[in-house]
Amino acid sequence: MFQTEPILYLQSLGNDWLTSLMILITSMGSSAFLVSIVIIVTFGISFRKGFLLFQLLIWTGLITEIIKTVIAFPRPDYVDNRVLNLEYGVKSTSPFNGSGPDCVFGLPDKEVLETFRLQETLSPSPFGFPSGHVAITTALWGGSSTIFNSRKIKMMAPFMVLLVALSRMYLGRHFLGDILGGAIIGLFFLTAFTFFLKSSLKDDFFKKENFELALRRKNLILYFVMFVIPLVLIASSMISAEAAGFFLGTNAAYVLIIRRGLPDDAGSTEQRVLRIFIAFLLFGISSFILSTGFENIETAAYFGPTLIEFLKAFIPASTIWVSVVICTKLNLYRREREFLSSRKGNLEQPGQGME
């Protein structure tokens, strides 16, 4: 499961065209792709379904990160410097050559693990097991088929997961064992998510009273899960500042939105496209300003790298709230209570005419 031979064989078949294709495929598990999907679903199809899909993806990602940190297994190019990191085009500087296990079910060499874990400075995203891309892809396609009750998406899901898994191995980023571990985690969260959708807990996520600042059990549990847990995880260095920023930023935006009243999803195709465009615009502009600002402004030196990464994710994620406010002001959204009121009025009008 942690042998490098299958990866070396796949890379021996490669060329520039295939590498470019695999990099494109593997991007389906990237943060940018996932953010795009969540924004399109949230603003173009259903606010509730978009938020539920986000929760599935972010929790899958957070737990995967925690397992990566706890197990701390290296990636293939560290175990065997013959493996190429084709995703980033970086040559391996590992001192090990052909140090994978001899048997299929063997673990990485003990010396490799000890040397890897003793390093003081590690490259970005150094840990291999389990594959976050595969876990997220499994949750994304499986969750989408469940939320939308779509047979087509359900049929496509295994194929898309296999494609991403193959790309991760070809690019030298994961062992077969990492792939299987990621798939198991994705399936676990997908199963839990399916049960959640069938339970009464799903409705609690969309009740305004459960997000009021009140000392009620449901309120405290929701605030604890949505805000306290990620703060504890980032304080203990179990998850990245970027992941915590996306999680807290989106949840903060959601609380602000639901306390004012969730928007309904009615609207023409043009209105839905405009809502998506506004959300993308605000998210993109805020991300660009923060990235450029922290790189060029001297005051960035006063912030720690963890806080900078957190803010670069938290602020763009929180623009979801601003996007909903702007779309409502532009009559691209109506508040849920206004929508229900108009429906009630329409139902009463025929009866009044008959009188």
pLDDT digits (tens, 9 = 90+) for 219-242: 898 899 889 988 888 888 888 888
In single-letter form, the type of residue at position 134 comes to: V
| Burial readout 180-214 (b: 16 or more C-beta within 10 A, e: otherwise) | bbbbebbeebbeebeeeeeeeeeeebbeeebbeee
Write the DSSP assignment of 55-108 as a string of letters.
Answer: HHHHHHHHHHHHHHHHH-PBPHHHH-TTS-BTTTTB----S-SS-S-SSTTPPP
pLDDT for position 341:
52
Q: Which residue has the tokens 């998510």?
A: 193
pLDDT for position 215:
83
The kind and range of the H/E element at 212 are none
172: CB partners within 8 A, 6+ apart: 7, 11, 75, 76, 77, 83, 84, 85, 86, 87
In single-letter form, the type of residue at position 320 comes to: I
- Percent of the chain having pLDDT more than 70? 88
pLDDT for position 218:
85
237: CB partners within 8 A, 6+ apart: 69
pLDDT digits (tens, 9 = 90+) for 209-219: 888 888 888 88
Rounded Cα distance between 232 and 228, Å, is 6
Rounded Cα distance between 87 and 263, Å, is 40
Q: Which residues of the chain have pLDDT under 50?
A: 339-340, 343-344, 346-355
pLDDT for position 334:
65
Which backbone phi and psi does 127 adopt, to 5 degrees? -85, 145
Task: Name the pTM for this structure.
Answer: 0.87
Rounded Cα distance between 140 and 56, Å, is 8
What is the domain partition of the chain in residue ranges?
A: 1-200, 207-334
72: CB partners within 8 A, 6+ apart: 113, 116, 117, 127
Which backbone phi and psi does 81 adopt, to 5 degrees? -70, 0
